[in-house]
Structure 1
Amino acid sequence: MGMLHYYNFPETEMFVFDEFLICQIREGAEIHPEYNEKLNKVIQKHFTGKNMVYISNRVNSYSVNPLTYVETERIPNLIAIAMIPETELMKKNAEFERDFFDKPYEIFDSLSKAIQWAHTIVKD
């Protein structure tokens, strides 16, 4: 289960694996619905014809327009989101953002737990 590809975009880093991708948004970035165009291109390039999970490793402080999730939900083979917030404030933000995404969305306290969950979701 090694990393397949790495993307270094101005606002984020993406690490692509077999069943999921891990995204680390950069400090101070502002994420808006248009971000999904870039995300969808990466997903369709690496996950065409198979389901996948988006894992957000929140190690930096940044802002997300909650309407971004409405667009993210429309990516057909993105079946779930896992969040790993680093601080209590990040966790509260992730809990608020969950209301805008109508697919499985879980919050974890470690990357390893999020990855285990992603494997389970993809297999089901």
Structure 2
Amino acid sequence: MIISYDFGYCRAEIYEDHIRVYINEGSVVGPENITELNYVAEKHFKNKPFVYLAVRIHSYTINPMIYFESNKIQNLLGVAIISKDPKQRSQARIEKAFTNKKLQQFETIGEALEWKDEIIKNFIYNQHNHTLKNKK
């Protein structure tokens, strides 16, 4: 971990290529909370691809409109929702409809980290190939 932030409604842990967010019990998260994600993206991931890991331990409310704002973060490649709660699977399907980013639900952080590695690797590979094609 590089650094940890306490934004009041959540704790965010910043890693080299991802952010893990633990939202507090009873919080309501909506588009107004995207400011913190924008800050973290700008400060720690400027011009670098990253993935958002939502570690859902507690019960809280997500306003799916938050995705309309997170869609604007160009270097955010995907969102992993981590929870063993079956309700989260159906919630993830609903949330997926609001985002243009990759969104996947996992039961463990390990599974989410493997997925994160894969989408970042694919993004870098595609960027490299795009650059090579433009040089021809």
TM tier relative to shorter chain: over 0.9
> Among 85, 88, 92, which residue is 1:87 paired with?
85
Partner of 1:42: 40
> Among 103, 106, 109, which residue is 2:104 paired with?
106
Q: Which structure has more RCO (C-alpha within 8 Å, separation ≥ 6)?
A: 1
> Among 66, 70, 86, which residue is 2:64 paired with?
66
* RMSD (Å), alpha carbons: 0.9
2:26 is paired with a residue whose SS is coil
Offset of 1:81 from its aligned partner? 0.6
Partner of 1:78: 76
**Identity across the alignment (%):** 31
1:54 aligns with 2:45: no
Could you state the TM-score of these two structures normalised by the residue count of structure 1? 0.94
Which structure has the larger Rg over C-alpha atoms?
2
Q: Which consecutive segments of 4 or more residues in structure 1 shift more than 4 A?
A: none
Task: Note if contact 1:23-1:57 (Cα within 8 Å) is conserved in structure 2.
Answer: yes
Question: Could you list the runs of 5+ residues in structure 1 that have no partner in the other structure?
Answer: none
Question: Could you list the runs of 5+ residues in structure 2 that have no partner in the other structure?
Answer: 123-136
Q: Aligned residues, how many?
A: 122
Could you state the TM-score of these two structures normalised by the residue count of structure 2? 0.86
Task: Note if contact 2:76-2:101 (Cα within 8 Å) is conserved in structure 1.
Answer: no
Partner of 1:119: 117
